[in-house]
Structure 1
Amino acid sequence: MNTAEAVSRAASAVRVQAVWPGPGESGDPPAVPGFIESTFPALVCAVADRCLTVRHCTPPGPVPHGDRTGVVLVSRYGDRATASAVARAVDDGTRMPSLLFFQSVPNAVAGRVAARWGLAGPIVCVSPVGDARAEGMDIADLLIADGDADEALVVLAEQGWTDGEPDRAEALLVTARAPGSRAGAEHPSKNPDVIAPPVTDRGGEPS
């Protein structure tokens, strides 16, 4: 991390952390209208809703200061199920469903989360080769430090690789650090709004 990134990181803190699935949960998250073939959109929406509901104590809808809240969606492997469905259609010479042909799923579902909660800040989708969580936090920090947002919802989402392996996601609501607090003083593990454990990266490395 360079000097600018270090200054940025020191200026922000994780206020809420949520995961999917939570303790004792199984099965897929609720389906999202307008998306087909994949659980990726539902995964992103479910963990985002969980995080923002804890923060705002309200069901989905426009929230205070939503115009200053950004969305950062991070996935090392992206929506693999949709990519596989497209590849099968091409290989088999079958007609491509219109939703698959026109839709970039990560961008579309990040936009849906923003519209659902009235978030009008920047929307960023990335697929890093390294640490997904660190990448997402760096982007959120820069959005806040540059004045583009006052807070950012960072969503990390990865689909399971094998039958029976659950999809996993983590959502972090990152805000400007309170004046006078020191870096590291507001780590999520010490925050009362944290729910459930961290997510493991699909490649077997901690995320």
Structure 2
Amino acid sequence: MNATAPRSSRWVASTGCVGPWGSTAGELRSWLSAGPAGAREVRRPPPVPGFIESQFNPLVYAVVKQCLGSWSPEEGAGTAIVLGSGLGDTTTADVASQNVAKGNVHNPLLFYQSVPTSILGYVTREFGITGPLSCVAGGELGPSMLEMADLLLEDESLHQVLLLGLELQLNPRTARVRELQGQEGGGLEGDVAVGLLLRRAPAPHGGAKLEALQEATAVAGLPAFPRNWSALRDLITLCLAYEHS
């Protein structure tokens, strides 16, 4: 794993992962190990009011709930969020562009949810989060997201950063993008959302040192990842390592 080393000790307080396998890291590991046979049953998260068509926003909300649990809104103060995705909400982009190409009336909800921070705004209202919201995109997102979290935690007004990574299943257009990028992966495909709650100090219930999890992922033998998950490989492996910490 090539994630940038943090300036000081950071702690992972909780993790979450949601996808076609279910909603636990153990189920994810079993799904990956099963190969194509693991994709027989696809589980989808509950819908989120005000968001349509795409699984992007329900997946974000589901993994946030996993990471934050049942905390009260008062606990949200001093929390920042960083959302990362290699290609973003491709479903919303495709549905909206197809409507335009066909001359259909454009749905205003699709315009609203085409902005990645729309679902983050929904989350901040529910969980009382008052820190900054950031969105990043690109190739290998793990190192850049961890570095951004480390920089945010230099701000004394913040005590934790929620890292959220999400990729949707490939469609013909995005599959071609991956081919042009020369990215390869296993035969599985599926939507995935992963989250890590990173803190400056240990949470009251403990947690795991980020450095220790990074060392564990460096030696862990992991199955092949789906091609569309390549940007989130580092975050997913940290989530799996946390399960066994």
On whether the aligned pair clears a TM of 0.5, the verdict is yes
Structure 2 residues not aligned, in runs of 5+: 32-40, 173-187, 203-207, 218-222, 235-245
Q: Mapping of 1:114-129 within 5 angstroms?
A: 114-127=124-137, 129=138
- Provide the C-alpha distance between the structure 2 equivalents of 1:123 and 1:111, rounded to a whole number of angstroms: 9
- Provide the C-alpha distance between the structure 1 equivalents of 2:115 and 2:67, rounded to a whole number of angstroms: 21
Q: Mapping of 1:1-207 within 5 angstroms?
A: 6=5, 8=7, 10-21=8-19, 22=23, 23=27, 26-53=42-69, 58=70, 61-64=72-75, 66-127=76-137, 129-162=138-171, 165-177=189-201, 184-185=211-212, 202=228, 204=230, 206-207=233-234
Percent identity among equivalent residues?
Answer: 32
Residue by residue, what CA displacement relative to the aligned partner does 1:109-160 show, whole Å, maximum 9, x if unpaired?
1111121111111111111x22112222111111101335210110000111
Structure 1 letter corresponding to 2:142: R
Structure with the higher helix share, 1 or 2 = 2
Structure 1 residues not aligned, in runs of 5+: 191-196
- Which contiguous aligned blocks of 4+ residues in structure 1 show a shift greater than 6 angstroms? none
Q: Secondary structure at the match of 2:170?
A: coil
Structure 1 letter corresponding to 2:147: D
Relative distance call for 1:32 and 1:183 in structure 2 (3 A) is closer
Structure 2 letter corresponding to 1:138: E
- Count of residue correspondences: 186
The CA RMSD over aligned residues, in Å, is 3.0
Structure 2 letter corresponding to 1:184: E
CA shift, 1:13, in A, is 2.3
CA shift, 1:105, in A, is 3.8
Residue by residue, what CA displacement relative to the aligned partner does 1:4-46 show, whole Å, maximum 9, x if unpaired?
x7553x2422221111133178321111000111010001000
